[in-house]
């Protein structure tokens, strides 16, 4: 279970208390505050705090553009213009702070997005729980033969069972040794900061992650993409649902221009123009490498 009974009680208590405020609030985000949304087998995402809404983006943009902008386009139109033309500062006026529980190997991939403020649970001071990410059978896949950082066909039968047995067995033994090193009979035990190094990468950690909307959209563009690793993608997809309620106009523009849109190189755009003229374009006469052409064909379906 991702949440303990104490955590559930704490969240219920937080949600039961409301405070008057003069700052702008987003009704869509208010319903998400403190609620923990389960991800993977023991993980979750929950909103701790936020600042700003769609109106804050528009307000910041109009400070930049001066008087008169309101007359030429509505708020949603302005937000779509900003997204379409890769403006960033107005979106930085919104921030969100998340509490995330996730496997260590996912955290190490996530932390590569260095434009956020992070404070992680410290195994130097506290003892990590006996909780490990064990993939569902349908997520056990072989190495892709065409993508060095991707998955291929799903493992089945005895092969899948053997992998699950190894994952569970190794994680359990590592944690047993972790506990043993921490509490040697009659002795103080090994320091926590040393004992933690024996834990597997699928053990769960937690952190608070605060990020502005511009950088959050960058994270989601990469991690909610269908090519992203499944274990981080499900976190990104959960966050997408929250953001869609928080800033619906901005998220709609993001969905159109980033998640659902594509960027074409100059060579790819030239190929599209030639195809529209009826010319037969192949990889050999496209000017693209085999990898570029394969991706281009994928974009065209």
- CA-CA distance, 58 to 234, in Å (whole number)? 30
Catalytic residue IDs: 223
pLDDT in tens, 103-156: 999 999 999 999 999 999 999 999 999 999 999 999 988 887 777 777 878 888
Please check whether residue 251 is in contact with residue 101, taking contact to mean a CB–CB distance below 8 angstroms.
no
Mean pLDDT of all residues in 236-262: 96
- CA-CA distance, 121 to 103, in Å (whole number)? 12
Please check whether residue 233 is in contact with residue 219, taking contact to mean a CB–CB distance below 8 angstroms.
no
Task: Report residue 18's pLDDT band, with 50, 70 and 90 as the boundaries.
Answer: confident
> In this predicted structure, what is the pLDDT of residue 5?
85
0.85 cut: is pTM over it?
yes
- Average pLDDT taken over every residue of the chain: 91
E strands, the chain, in order: 36-39, 43-51, 95-103, 117-120, 141-143, 151-154, 204-212
Residue 51, beta-bridge partner list: 95
Query: Looking at the predicted structure, is the pLDDT value of residue 1 above 60?
Result: no
CA distances 38 to 43, 58, 144, Å, are 6, 33, 29
Tokens of 74: 């509505």
CA angle, 82 then 88 then 90, to 5°: 75
Query: Looking at the predicted structure, is the pLDDT value of residue 72 above 50?
Result: no
> In this predicted structure, what is the pLDDT of residue 249?
96
Nearest to 108 by CA among 192, 175, 202, 172: 202
Mean pLDDT of all residues in 30-59: 95
Query: Looking at the predicted structure, is the pLDDT value of residue 288 above 80?
Result: yes
Residue 95, beta-bridge partner list: 51, 212
Residue 141, beta-bridge partner list: 154
> In this predicted structure, what is the pLDDT of residue 278?
95
> In this predicted structure, what is the pLDDT of residue 64?
64
Query: Looking at the predicted structure, is the pLDDT value of residue 67 above 60?
Result: no
How far does CA 111 lie from the centroid of its chain?
A: 10
The pairing of strands 43-51 and 36-39 is antiparallel
């Amino acid at each position: 279970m991702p949440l303990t009974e104490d955590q559930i009680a704490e969240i219920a208590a937080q949600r039961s208390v409301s405070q008057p405020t003069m700052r702008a609030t987003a009704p869509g985000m208010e319903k998400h505050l403190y609620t923990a949304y389960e991800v993977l087998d023991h993980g979750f995402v929950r909103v701790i705090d936020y600042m700003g809404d769609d109106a804050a983006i528009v307000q910041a943009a109009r400070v930049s553009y001066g008087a008169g902008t309101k007359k030429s386009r509505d708020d949603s139109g302005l937000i779509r213009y900003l997204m379409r033309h890769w403006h960033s500062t107005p979106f930085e006026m919104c921030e969100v702070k998340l509490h995330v529980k996730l496997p260590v190997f996912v955290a190490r991939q996530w932390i590569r997005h260095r434009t956020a403020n992070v404070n992680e649970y410290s195994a130097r001071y506290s003892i990590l729980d006996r909780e490990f990410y064990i993939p569902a059978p349908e997520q056990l896949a072989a190495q892709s033969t065409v993508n060095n950082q991707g998955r291929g066909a799903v493992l089945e039968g005895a092969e899948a069972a053997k992998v699950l047995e190894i994952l569970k067995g190794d994680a359990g033994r590592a944690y047993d040794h972790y506990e043993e090193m921490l509490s040697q009979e009659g002795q103080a035990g090994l320091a926590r900061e040393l004992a933690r190094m024996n834990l597997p990468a699928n053990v769960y950690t937690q952190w608070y992650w605060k990020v502005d909307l511009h950088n959050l959209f960058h994270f989601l563009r990469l991690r909610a993409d269908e090519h992203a690793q499944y274990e981080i993608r499900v976190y990104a997809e959960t966050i997408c649902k929250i953001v869609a309620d928080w800033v619906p106009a901005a998220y709609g523009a993001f969905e159109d221009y980033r998640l659902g849109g594509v960027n074409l190189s100059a060579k790819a755009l030239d190929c599209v123009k030639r195809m529209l003229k009826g010319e037969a374009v192949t990889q050999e006469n496209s000017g693209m490498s085999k990898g570029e052409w394969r991706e281009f064909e994928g974009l065209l379906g």
